[in-house]
Homo-oligomer: A and B are copies of this chain.
Amino acid sequence: MGQVILVTGGARSGKSRHAEARVRALPGQPVYIATARADDDEMRARIAHHIDRRGSGWITVEEPFDLIGALDRSDGQGPRLVDCLTLWLSNLMFDDRAWEPEAEALVAALARQASPVILVSNEVGMGIVPANALARAFRDAQGWLNQRVAEAADEVEFVVSGLPLKVK
């Protein structure tokens, strides 16, 4: 089974940059699996900034929903960076898709990958309880997804101020 690494942390904690460095250190041409949807200017600017930072030499796959298909199709090509689980989950939830079976299917898919997978995710549960019910539901789903992926991962890193703390 290919190595599975979860890199988690807060917004702008440097987790994507750290995850990119981990992927680059692995042999083979890296594949970037972007789950973002370029729906608004803020998100487009953020995506452009990430593409810019990575530089050339990456294969880029944009896949806001079918992450499992993207993993299966790119297996054997090189190490994959999934950036990020938070946007994927949010796409599923805001599109009213059943995210729980998708999450279980992701865990199963990770187990069958031959090439390494580095997954970036967010910590969203360390603020005050959100007043909004949908935000609370998202927070619960994200926490649960992180636990499931962490369980399936060989390594888990929690990034603080750009620096990784080894959790597993």
Q: List chain A positions with a Cβ less than 8 A from chain B.
A: 6, 8-14, 42, 121, 123-130, 133, 135-136, 138-140, 142-144, 146-147, 149-151, 156, 158, 160-163, 165, 167-168
Q: Which residue of B lies closest to A147 (CB)?
A: B162
Distance in angstroms from A99 CB to nearest chain B CB is 14
List residues of chain B with CB within 8 A of the CB of A143.
Answer: 10-14
In the complex, which of the residues B124, B129, B149 contacts A126, with contact meaning CB atoms closer than 8 Å? B124
Q: Which residue of B lies closest to A144 (CB)?
A: B12
5 further A-B pairs in the complex, CB-CB below 8 A; given A125-B127, A147-B161: A9-B126, A12-B143, A13-B143, A147-B162, A156-B161
List residues of chain B with CB within 8 A of the CB of A123.
Answer: 10, 126, 160
Query: A97–B79 Cα gap in the complex (Å)?
Result: 42
Say yes or no: B156 contacts A167, CB within 8 Å. no
List residues of chain B with CB within 8 A of the CB of A160.
Answer: 8, 123, 156, 158, 167
Say yes or no: A140 contacts B12, CB within 8 Å. yes
Distance in angstroms from A153 CB to nearest chain B CB is 9
Q: Which residue of B lies closest to A141 (CB)?
A: B12
In the complex, which of the residues B11, B136, B156, B163 contacts A125, with contact meaning CB atoms closer than 8 Å? B11
Distance in angstroms from A43 CB to nearest chain B CB is 11
List 16 interface pairs A-B (beta carbons < 8 Å), by A numbering: A10-B124, A10-B126, A11-B126, A12-B139, A12-B147, A13-B147, A123-B160, A124-B126, A126-B126, A127-B130, A128-B130, A128-B135, A146-B161, A147-B161, A147-B162, A156-B161
Say yes or no: B150 contacts A162, CB within 8 Å. yes
Query: A142–B165 Cα gap in the complex (Å)?
Result: 19
